[in-house]
Amino acid sequence: MTVDLFIPCFIDQIYPETAFNTIKLLRKAGLEVNYNPEQTCCGQPAFNSGYWDETRTLAQKFMRDFPNHRPIISPSASCTGFIKNYYPDLFKNEQAGFTDYERLSRNLFELTDYLVNHLHFTDFGAEFPHKVCYHDACTALREYGIREEPRLLLSKVKGLELVEMENTETCCGFGGTFSAKFTAISTAMTEQKVENALKTGAEYIISTESSCIMNIEAYILKNKLPIKPIHIADILASGWEE
């Protein structure tokens, strides 16, 4: 079966290796992967900043970039959750656009959701001999609705010890433009998140969201702390070759 791959902006620009590892995982699961190099932003930053007309233009392009009736897989619940939950606000009075949204929404899946709940493929033979904790990103948990799926996948990784930190479901402080508009509050939230992770003795903070990883990583690097953030796709792709 062929699936389409949607790579969000943060991964494309900052963590491209996560994109390649996502392809590696999907191929290991027996899928053919199609990537449209013309794809761009889904429109979430513009939408959150109140630029709905600009968002609508990006959304229309996004739907043209994914015209097929086949699964679209993305290593981000933030972007997929945004498309599923907020595109209707852009097209509710435009029947043609709404019809395209309905097709897209039916076919769009976050990576761990698709692997666990649709492919039922949970063991990649990955090895990662480290103590880790998991960060439940706000959008992944509250907008897309994943919680157990990443943990199930991590439980299959050889050598990995998963420990839960305090307030794992609390925001890391990024929140898109929130971190730029309310820097002091955002930084305090990030500090709390990282301190909770450090208390567990974990070597890594894992998330499904590259935006959270970017935010947490900036704080860790600035303060020279002994812990690293990493995307779950990079964990699942470790310890084996295609």
Per-residue confidence band for 94, with pLDDT thresholds at 50, 70 and 90? low
Q: How far is CA 34 from the centre of its chain?
A: 19
pLDDT of residue 182: 82
For the chain, the straight-line distance linking the first and the last C-alpha, in angstroms and rounded, comes to: 18
What is the fold, at CATH topology level, of the domain defined by 122-236? Answer: Rossmann fold (3.40.50)
Confidence band of 175 (pLDDT split at 50, 70, 90): confident
Q: Which residue's entry shows tokens 């990883």?
A: 213
Longest alpha-carbon distance in the chain: 53
Angle at which helices 95-107 and 77-91 pack, to 10 degrees? 160
From the CB of residue 99, how many other CB atoms can be counted at a distance below 10 Å?
Answer: 12
The per-residue pLDDT for range 26-63, each reduced to its tens digit, is 999 999 999 999 999 999 999 988 999 999 999 999 99
Report, as an integer, the average pLDDT of 219-227. 97
**Tell me: the pLDDT tens digits for 126-170?**
999 999 999 999 999 999 999 999 999 999 999 999 999 999 999
34 membership: H or E segment, kind and range? strand 32-35
Q: Is the pLDDT of residue 215 over 90?
A: yes
Q: List the domain boundaries for the chain.
A: 2-118, 122-236
Give the Cα separation of 130 and 11 in Å (integer). 24
Q: What is the pLDDT of residue 141?
A: 93
> b/e map of 3-25 (b: 16 or more CB within 10 Å)?
bbbbbbbbbeeebeebbebbbbb
pTM summary value: 0.94
Out of 6-10, 135-139, 146-150, 171-175, which region has the weakest mean confidence (pLDDT)?
171-175
Give the model's pLDDT for residue 96: 67
- CB atoms near residue 119 (< 10 Å): 18
Token couple for 235: 């964990």
Per-residue pLDDT band at 19 (split at 50, 70, 90): very high
